[in-house]
C-alpha cells in the first residue's frame, strides 16, 4: 500500500508537535524543580500531594494558633507581674505606715499612693491583646471586664469562661484566664474576696491608724468608753503591773454592765465602776493600767468609717484628763493585719502565673512537635513532587536529539525547502 505524501507530512508534523510539547514539559520541570507541574503529569501523585498540602496547611494553622496563644498568655503574665510589683510596694508602704513615728499626714500620703496603685491594678485587670480583645473577660472578650459601680466598688462584668485554640488534632490550650478566678477569688481562711479589697483595706487601716493606737496605758486611774456600733462579742486584753486578763463580753446593746462584771472578776488589781456609758478603772496599788488587742466578733476587716472602738483616757483623782484620749479600734482594722492579706494575694498571683507558665511551656513543646511533623510531611511531598534533575536533563537531551534526527530524516525524505532552510 502506498502512503500519500499529505498523510505522511501530517503524521510527521503531529509527531514533531508532540516531541516539542514533551521537550517543553521537561524544560518546565527542570526550571521549576518539580516533577508535577499539573495534575495530568501524575494524577495519582497529584491527589497525594493535595492531601499532604492540606495536612501541612493545618500544621501551619496549629503553629499560628500556638504563637497567638503564647502572645496572649505573655500579656496576661505581664499584667500579673505588674500586680505582683504593686503588692510588693503595698507591703513596703504598709510596714512604713505601721511605724509609730509616722504622723497622720505621713499616713495620708501613703494612703494616696495606694489609691493610685489600686487604679493601676484595675488597668492591668482590663488588659487587652493586639486586637483589642480583653484578656481577663472570659468569653466576653469585647466587653471591659472590670468597672466601678456607683459606690466606687469594682465589679466583674465577664464570665468564668476560658478561651482556647486548637494546637493539634486532639489538643486545645487555654489562651486566657478568667478575671473572676484571678481577681475576685483570693482565698483567705475559709472565704474568698476580690484582691482590690486588700488594697482598699490597707487604705482604710492606714486612715484608721491615724487616729487610733494599738495599746493604751494609764497610771492608777482611767476611764473607758465603748462605742457599740457593732453588737456582738467584744474582747480585749487588760493588765495591771503583775497580771493580764482577757476580757470577753457579749454586748447586744449599749448595756456595759457585763464589761464591769468581767473586769471585777478577772483577778486583777483593777476595779471597774459604771456611770452612764462611762466605765472608770482604778488600780488599787496605783500601778499601770494597760489595755490592748481590741477585737469585735462582727468585724473581719478594716472599715471606711470604723464604728466599734474603745476610748481610753488617763485621768487624775478629780476625773480630769491627763492627756489626749486614746482610741483603740478592732485589731482586724490595724495595718499589721493587712500584711497577711498581701501575702495571700502574692501567693494567689504566683499560682495564676504558674498556670500561665505551664500552658506556655506546653505550647512551646507543641510548636516543636508541629515543626517536626511539618518537616516529615514536606519530605514526603518532596519525594513525590521534586524532580530528578539529572534524569530530566538526560531525558531532555535524548528528546532533543530524537527531534533533530526526525527532522533531518523528514527533510531528506520529503526534500522540503523549509527544512533545508532550518538545517
Highest mean pLDDT among 22-31, 95-104, 243-252: 243-252
Q: Cell numbers 494597760 correspond to what residue?
A: 290
User: Are 356 and 73 spatial neighbours (Cβ–Cβ below 8 Å)?
Assistant: yes
pLDDT in the model for residue 21:
63
How many whole angstroms separate alpha carbon 31 and alpha carbon 389? 9
Question: Is 1.20.1330.10 the CATH number for 57-206+337-370?
Answer: yes
How many whole angstroms separate alpha carbon 377 and alpha carbon 389? 22
Tell me the three cell numbers of residue 327. 482610741
CB proximity list for 337: less than 8 A, separation 6 or greater = 205, 331
Chain mean pLDDT for the chain:
83
Lowest-confidence region among 45-49, 150-154, 196-200, 374-378: 45-49
How many whole angstroms separate alpha carbon 341 and alpha carbon 196? 11
User: Are 250 and 259 spatial neighbours (Cβ–Cβ below 8 Å)?
Assistant: no
Other C-beta atoms closer than 10 Å to the C-beta of 305 total 8
Per-residue pLDDT tens for 81-135?
Answer: 999 999 999 999 999 988 877 888 888 999 999 999 999 999 999 999 989 999 9
Give the single-character DSSP code of 128.
B
Tell me the three cell numbers of residue 113. 499612693
pLDDT in the model for residue 230:
74
> Which of residues 272 and 152 earns the better pLDDT score?
272
pLDDT in the model for residue 251:
87
Give the model's confidence band at 73: pLDDT under 50 very low, under 70 low, under 90 confident, else very high.
Answer: very high
How many whole angstroms separate alpha carbon 279 and alpha carbon 276? 8
Strand pairing category for 278-283 and 215-219: unpaired
Q: Cell numbers 488599787 correspond to what residue?
A: 284
Quick one: angle between helices 195-209 and 335-385, nearest 10?
160
pLDDT in the model for residue 11:
60
Question: Element (H or E) spanning 250, and its range?
Answer: strand 244-251
Per-residue pLDDT tens for 271-322?
Answer: 999 998 899 999 999 999 999 999 888 887 888 778 888 999 999 988 999 9
Check whether 10 has a pLDDT greater than 80: no
Question: Element (H or E) spanning 374, and its range?
Answer: helix 335-385
Describe the chain by its helix, strand, coil percentages, rounded to 5.
Answer: 50, 20, 30
Where are the chain's structural domains?
57-206+337-370, 215-333
Q: Mean pLDDT throughout 381-398?
A: 58
User: Are 236 and 328 spatial neighbours (Cβ–Cβ below 8 Å)?
Assistant: yes
Amino acid at each position: 500500500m502506498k502512503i500519500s505524501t499529505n498523510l505522511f507530512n501530517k503524521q510527521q508534523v503531529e509527531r514533531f508537535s508532540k516531541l516539542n510539547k514533551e521537550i517543553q514539559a521537561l524544560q518546565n520541570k527542570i526550571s521549576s524543580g518539580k516533577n508535577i507541574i499539573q495534575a495530568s503529569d501524575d494524577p495519582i501523585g497529584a491527589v497525594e500531594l493535595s492531601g499532604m498540602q492540606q495536612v501541612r496547611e493545618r500544621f501551619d494553622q496549629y503553629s499560628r494558633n500556638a504563637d497567638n496563644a503564647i502572645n496572649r498568655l505573655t500579656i496576661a503574665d505581664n499584667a500579673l507581674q505588674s500586680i505582683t510589683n504593686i503588692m510588693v510596694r503595698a507591703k513596703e508602704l504598709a510596714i512604713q505606715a505601721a511605724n509609730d513615728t509616722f504622723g497622720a499626714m505621713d499616713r495620708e500620703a501613703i494612703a494616696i499612693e495606694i489609691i493610685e496603685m489600686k487604679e493601676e491594678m484595675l488597668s492591668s485587670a482590663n488588659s487587652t491583646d493586639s486586637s483589642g480583645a480583653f484578656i481577663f473577660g472570659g468569653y466576653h472578650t469585647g466587653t471591659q471586664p472590670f468597672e466601678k459601680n456607683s459606690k466606687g466598688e469594682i465589679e466583674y462584668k465577664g464570665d468564668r469562661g476560658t478561651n482556647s485554640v486548637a494546637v493539634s488534632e486532639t489538643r486545645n490550650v487555654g489562651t486566657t484566664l478568667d478575671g473572676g478566678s484571678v481577681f475576685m477569688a483570693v482565698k483567705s481562711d475559709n472565704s474568698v474576696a476580690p484582691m482590690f479589697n486588700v488594697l482598699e483595706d490597707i487604705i482604710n487601716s492606714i486612715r484608721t491608724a491615724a487616729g487610733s493606737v494599738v495599746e493604751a496605758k494609764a497610771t492608777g486611774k482611767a476611764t473607758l468608753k465603748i462605742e457599740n456600733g457593732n453588737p456582738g462579742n467584744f474582747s480585749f486584753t487588760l493588765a495591771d503591773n503583775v497580771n493580764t486578763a482577757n476580757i470577753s463580753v457579749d454586748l447586744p446593746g449599749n448595756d456595759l454592765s457585763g464589761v464591769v462584771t468581767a473586769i471585777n472578776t478577772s483577778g486583777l488589781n483593777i476595779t471597774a465602776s459604771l456611770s452612764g456609758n462611762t466605765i472608770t478603772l482604778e488600780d488599787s496599788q496605783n500601778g499601770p493600767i494597760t489595755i490592748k488587742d481590741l477585737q469585735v466578733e462582727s468585724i473581719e476587716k478594716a472599715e471606711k468609717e470604723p464604728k466599734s472602738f474603745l476610748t481610753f483616757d488617763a485621768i487624775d483623782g478629780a476625773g480630769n484628763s491627763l492627756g489626749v484620749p486614746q482610741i483603740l479600734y478592732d485589731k482586724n482594722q490595724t495595718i499589721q493585719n493587712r500584711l497577711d492579706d498581701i501575702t495571700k494575694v502574692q501567693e494567689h498571683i504566683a499560682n495564676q502565673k504558674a498556670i500561665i507558665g505551664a500552658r506556655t511551656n506546653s505550647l512551646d513543646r507543641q510548636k516543636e512537635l508541629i515543626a517536626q511533623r511539618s518537616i516529615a510531611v514536606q519530605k514526603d511531598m518532596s519525594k513525590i513532587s521534586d524532580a530528578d534533575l539529572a534524569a530530566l536533563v538526560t531525558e531532555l537531551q535524548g528528546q532533543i536529539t530524537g527531534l533533530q534526527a526526525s527532522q533531518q530524516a523528514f527533510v531528506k525524505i520529503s526534500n522540503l525547502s523549509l527544512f533545508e532552510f532550518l538545517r
